[in-house]
Amino acid sequence: MHLSRGNHETLNMNRIYGFEGEVKAKYNQTVFDLFTECFHCLPLAHVLGGMVYVTHGGLFSSDTVVLDDIRKVDRFREPPDEGIMSEALWSDPQPMPGRAPSKRGVGLSFGPDVTANFLKRNGLKLVVRSHEVKDEGYEVEASGQLITIFSAPNYCDQMGNKGALLRFDHNGEYQVKQFTAVPHPAVRPMAYAGGMQSMFGF
Protein backbone atom coordinates (compact mmCIF):
# COMPACT_ATOMS: atom_id res chain seq x y z
CA MET A 1 0.00 0.00 0.00
CA HIS A 2 1.25 3.47 -0.90
CA LEU A 3 0.15 6.44 1.22
CA SER A 4 0.33 10.05 0.01
CA ARG A 5 0.24 13.15 2.14
CA GLY A 6 -2.88 15.28 1.92
CA ASN A 7 -3.80 18.75 3.10
CA HIS A 8 -5.19 17.27 6.35
CA GLU A 9 -1.81 15.80 7.30
CA THR A 10 -0.75 19.16 8.70
CA LEU A 11 -0.78 20.64 12.19
CA ASN A 12 -3.24 23.40 11.38
CA MET A 13 -5.82 21.09 9.78
CA ASN A 14 -5.41 18.51 12.55
CA ARG A 15 -6.25 21.18 15.10
CA ILE A 16 -9.25 22.57 13.21
CA TYR A 17 -10.84 19.26 12.23
CA GLY A 18 -10.31 17.38 15.48
CA PHE A 19 -7.58 14.80 14.84
CA GLU A 20 -5.28 16.37 17.41
CA GLY A 21 -8.10 16.51 19.95
CA GLU A 22 -9.10 12.89 19.37
CA VAL A 23 -5.54 11.56 19.67
CA LYS A 24 -4.93 13.51 22.86
CA ALA A 25 -8.28 12.39 24.32
CA LYS A 26 -7.59 8.73 23.57
CA TYR A 27 -3.79 8.70 23.99
CA ASN A 28 -1.48 11.65 24.72
CA GLN A 29 0.72 14.41 23.26
CA THR A 30 3.56 11.98 22.53
CA VAL A 31 1.38 9.86 20.24
CA PHE A 32 0.15 12.96 18.43
CA ASP A 33 3.75 14.12 17.96
CA LEU A 34 4.56 10.72 16.42
CA PHE A 35 1.65 11.08 14.02
CA THR A 36 2.94 14.50 13.01
CA GLU A 37 6.41 13.08 12.40
CA CYS A 38 4.92 10.30 10.28
CA PHE A 39 2.87 12.81 8.26
CA HIS A 40 6.07 14.72 7.47
CA CYS A 41 7.49 11.55 5.93
CA LEU A 42 4.60 10.84 3.57
CA PRO A 43 5.38 11.44 -0.12
CA LEU A 44 3.52 14.12 -2.06
CA ALA A 45 2.81 11.84 -5.03
CA HIS A 46 3.35 8.43 -6.61
CA VAL A 47 3.69 7.18 -10.17
CA LEU A 48 2.10 3.78 -10.81
CA GLY A 49 3.61 1.66 -13.53
CA GLY A 50 5.23 4.66 -15.18
CA MET A 51 1.77 5.77 -16.32
CA VAL A 52 -0.47 7.04 -13.52
CA TYR A 53 0.34 10.10 -11.40
CA VAL A 54 -1.35 9.94 -7.96
CA THR A 55 -1.50 12.90 -5.60
CA HIS A 56 -3.93 14.35 -3.09
CA GLY A 57 -4.74 17.80 -4.43
CA GLY A 58 -3.63 18.57 -7.94
CA LEU A 59 -1.28 20.25 -10.35
CA PHE A 60 0.84 23.35 -10.40
CA SER A 61 1.01 27.05 -11.22
CA SER A 62 3.77 26.42 -13.79
CA ASP A 63 3.74 24.16 -16.86
CA THR A 64 7.45 23.54 -16.36
CA VAL A 65 7.03 21.26 -13.33
CA VAL A 66 8.38 17.75 -13.91
CA LEU A 67 8.56 14.72 -11.64
CA ASP A 68 12.13 15.51 -10.61
CA ASP A 69 10.98 18.90 -9.30
CA ILE A 70 8.47 17.13 -7.06
CA ARG A 71 11.11 14.67 -5.88
CA LYS A 72 13.39 17.56 -4.86
CA VAL A 73 10.84 19.17 -2.55
CA ASP A 74 11.75 19.04 1.14
CA ARG A 75 8.56 17.40 2.37
CA PHE A 76 9.78 16.68 5.92
CA ARG A 77 8.05 19.75 7.36
CA GLU A 78 4.83 21.68 7.52
CA PRO A 79 3.85 22.91 4.05
CA PRO A 80 4.55 26.51 3.06
CA ASP A 81 1.78 28.82 1.84
CA GLU A 82 2.78 28.48 -1.82
CA GLY A 83 4.93 26.44 -4.17
CA ILE A 84 4.96 22.85 -5.37
CA MET A 85 4.24 21.26 -1.99
CA SER A 86 1.30 23.50 -1.21
CA GLU A 87 -0.15 23.14 -4.72
CA ALA A 88 0.16 19.34 -4.64
CA LEU A 89 -1.85 19.28 -1.40
CA TRP A 90 -4.49 21.93 -2.15
CA SER A 91 -5.16 22.42 -5.89
CA ASP A 92 -8.38 21.42 -7.67
CA PRO A 93 -9.35 20.87 -11.32
CA GLN A 94 -11.74 23.20 -13.13
CA PRO A 95 -13.65 22.63 -16.40
CA MET A 96 -12.33 25.83 -18.05
CA PRO A 97 -8.88 25.95 -19.66
CA GLY A 98 -6.05 27.74 -17.90
CA ARG A 99 -5.62 28.52 -14.25
CA ALA A 100 -7.60 30.52 -11.68
CA PRO A 101 -7.32 31.37 -7.98
CA SER A 102 -8.56 28.60 -5.72
CA LYS A 103 -11.85 28.95 -3.87
CA ARG A 104 -9.97 27.47 -0.89
CA GLY A 105 -7.59 30.42 -0.65
CA VAL A 106 -4.52 28.21 -1.15
CA GLY A 107 -3.37 26.22 -4.18
CA LEU A 108 -5.08 26.94 -7.49
CA SER A 109 -7.72 25.75 -9.92
CA PHE A 110 -6.30 24.20 -13.09
CA GLY A 111 -7.95 23.38 -16.39
CA PRO A 112 -7.91 20.29 -18.63
CA ASP A 113 -5.17 21.87 -20.76
CA VAL A 114 -2.93 22.06 -17.68
CA THR A 115 -3.56 18.37 -17.03
CA ALA A 116 -2.79 17.45 -20.65
CA ASN A 117 0.43 19.50 -20.63
CA PHE A 118 1.61 17.93 -17.36
CA LEU A 119 0.97 14.41 -18.62
CA LYS A 120 2.71 15.05 -21.95
CA ARG A 121 5.74 16.70 -20.38
CA ASN A 122 6.17 13.79 -17.94
CA GLY A 123 5.30 10.90 -20.28
CA LEU A 124 2.23 9.88 -18.27
CA LYS A 125 -1.34 9.00 -19.20
CA LEU A 126 -3.54 9.77 -16.18
CA VAL A 127 -3.78 11.99 -13.08
CA VAL A 128 -5.58 10.52 -10.05
CA ARG A 129 -6.33 12.84 -7.14
CA SER A 130 -8.83 13.21 -4.30
CA HIS A 131 -9.46 16.29 -2.11
CA GLU A 132 -13.12 16.78 -3.14
CA VAL A 133 -16.34 14.98 -2.20
CA LYS A 134 -18.04 13.40 -5.22
CA ASP A 135 -21.63 12.09 -5.11
CA GLU A 136 -20.67 8.79 -6.77
CA GLY A 137 -17.32 8.56 -4.99
CA TYR A 138 -15.43 9.51 -8.15
CA GLU A 139 -15.56 11.77 -11.20
CA VAL A 140 -13.75 11.54 -14.55
CA GLU A 141 -12.65 14.90 -15.99
CA ALA A 142 -10.31 16.45 -18.56
CA SER A 143 -11.41 14.14 -21.39
CA GLY A 144 -10.59 11.10 -19.30
CA GLN A 145 -7.10 12.28 -18.30
CA LEU A 146 -7.98 13.09 -14.69
CA ILE A 147 -10.00 11.21 -12.07
CA THR A 148 -11.05 12.51 -8.68
CA ILE A 149 -11.52 9.64 -6.23
CA PHE A 150 -13.08 10.06 -2.78
CA SER A 151 -13.15 7.04 -0.49
CA ALA A 152 -15.11 8.37 2.52
CA PRO A 153 -18.82 7.54 2.08
CA ASN A 154 -21.38 9.87 3.64
CA TYR A 155 -18.63 12.36 4.42
CA CYS A 156 -18.95 13.90 7.92
CA ASP A 157 -22.17 11.87 8.34
CA GLN A 158 -24.09 14.37 6.25
CA MET A 159 -23.08 14.42 2.57
CA GLY A 160 -24.84 11.20 1.49
CA ASN A 161 -22.11 10.45 -1.07
CA LYS A 162 -20.80 7.04 -2.05
CA GLY A 163 -17.17 6.15 -1.53
CA ALA A 164 -15.02 4.68 -4.27
CA LEU A 165 -11.60 3.31 -5.09
CA LEU A 166 -9.77 2.47 -8.30
CA ARG A 167 -8.17 -0.88 -9.05
CA PHE A 168 -5.46 -0.74 -11.73
CA ASP A 169 -4.06 -3.54 -13.86
CA HIS A 170 -0.52 -3.72 -15.26
CA ASN A 171 -1.56 -1.79 -18.38
CA GLY A 172 -2.77 1.21 -16.42
CA GLU A 173 -6.43 0.37 -17.04
CA TYR A 174 -8.72 0.70 -14.05
CA GLN A 175 -11.98 -0.50 -12.57
CA VAL A 176 -14.06 1.60 -10.18
CA LYS A 177 -15.30 0.00 -6.97
CA GLN A 178 -18.06 1.94 -5.20
CA PHE A 179 -19.42 1.45 -1.69
CA THR A 180 -21.82 3.06 0.76
CA ALA A 181 -21.48 4.00 4.42
CA VAL A 182 -21.98 1.51 7.23
CA PRO A 183 -23.06 2.23 10.82
CA HIS A 184 -20.32 3.37 13.18
CA PRO A 185 -20.07 4.42 16.83
CA ALA A 186 -22.36 7.26 17.86
CA VAL A 187 -19.77 10.02 17.93
CA ARG A 188 -21.00 13.28 16.47
CA PRO A 189 -19.06 14.68 13.47
CA MET A 190 -16.23 17.02 14.51
CA ALA A 191 -16.62 15.86 18.14
CA TYR A 192 -12.94 16.43 18.82
CA ALA A 193 -12.52 19.57 16.75
CA GLY A 194 -11.08 22.55 18.54
CA GLY A 195 -13.14 25.17 16.76
CA MET A 196 -11.87 28.50 15.51
CA GLN A 197 -9.64 28.94 18.58
CA SER A 198 -7.38 26.16 17.26
CA MET A 199 -6.54 28.17 14.18
CA PHE A 200 -4.81 30.70 16.39
CA GLY A 201 -3.11 28.28 18.75
CA PHE A 202 -5.17 28.85 21.89
* Helices of type H across the chain: 11-17, 19-26, 29-41, 67-71, 84-90, 112-122
Report the percent of the chain where pLDDT is more than 70.
Answer: 96
Catalytic residue of the set 2, 8, 46, 131: 8
8 assigned to active site: yes
The residues that bridge with 108 in the sheet, in sequence order, are: 101
* Tally of domains in the chain: 1
Residue 80, in any domain of the structure? yes
Residue 48, in any domain of the structure? yes
pLDDT number for residue 21: 95
Q: Residue 186 and residue 193: Cα distance in Å, rounded?
A: 16
Residue 189, in any domain of the structure? no
Tens of pLDDT along 30-80? Answer: 999 999 999 999 999 999 999 999 999 999 999 999 999 999 999 999 999
Residue 25, in any domain of the structure? no
Question: Taking the complete model, does pTM exceed 0.85, yes or no?
Answer: yes
Report the CATH number at residue 92: 3.60.21.10
Residue 27, in any domain of the structure? no
Residue 34, in any domain of the structure? no
- Domain of residue 143: give its range: 43-184
Residue 5, in any domain of the structure? no
Of 188 and 147, more confident:
147
